[in-house]
Amino acid sequence: MTPTIRHTHKPVLWWYRLVMTIRPCTVDEIFESGLIPEYAAESGIKKMPAPNPDINTYRGMESLGAITCIGAFDDDIQIGFAVVLVTTLPHYGEKVAATESLFVSKSHRKSSAGARLIGAAEVVAANLGAKGLLISAGHGTQLEKVMQLSRRYNQTNSVFFRALA
């Protein structure tokens, strides 16, 4: 029997729906996945030192419940991840979630992994009482282009950086 696939707005490679899993994961799984170098190469900020993720800081935040990690897996191979931070914004006095990290390996970007990670991040955020989800995308990245075309998300701010040291 052939599975029925319902397309929402873009065709998706059908086999990813059959083998891809989106599930909670740990900081250690993300660091052991081999994705960090590719992610770091894409997520760097001009005039900042090269990214050097501090696993101990991530582990501490995870142990305090300050972040929730989500992984996208093609069979047993991790192909993407999201790290969701939920905190109260003092200006609003309300909880809001933000993606501290959101990444899918370039070789899997034509799959539904990114959209499914965002959907899972929305569920995590709602379950933790957040009023909304902020998704940060580097200027000029594929994620920025996708988010600008989104009908579900509104662009709210632009962020500017100045090196101080």
DSSP 90-128: TTTTEEEEEEEEEEE-GGGTTSSHHHHHHHHHHHHHHHT
In a domain, 160, yes or no: no
Please state the domain count of the chain: 1
In a domain, 13, yes or no: no
Ranges of H-type helices in 11-100: 14-19, 27-32, 36-43, 55-63
* Residue numbers of the domain that contains 47: 19-149
- Model confidence over 112-136: pLDDT tens digits? 999 999 999 999 999 999 999 999 9
In a domain, 28, yes or no: yes
Token reading at 9 = 């707005």
- Please list the residues that pair with 98 across neighbouring strands: 85, 134
- Model confidence over 24-80: pLDDT tens digits? 999 999 999 999 999 998 888 888 888 889 999 999 999 999 999 999 999 899 999
pTM of the model: 0.85
Residue 1 has pLDDT above 70, yes or no: no
Q: Compute the average pLDDT of residues 133-143.
A: 92
The pLDDT assigned to 18 comes to 53
- Model confidence over 20-33: pLDDT tens digits? 999 999 999 999 99
List the CATH number of the domain containing 101. 3.40.630.30
Residue 17 has pLDDT above 60, yes or no: no
The pLDDT assigned to 27 comes to 98
- Greater pLDDT, 1 or 81: 81
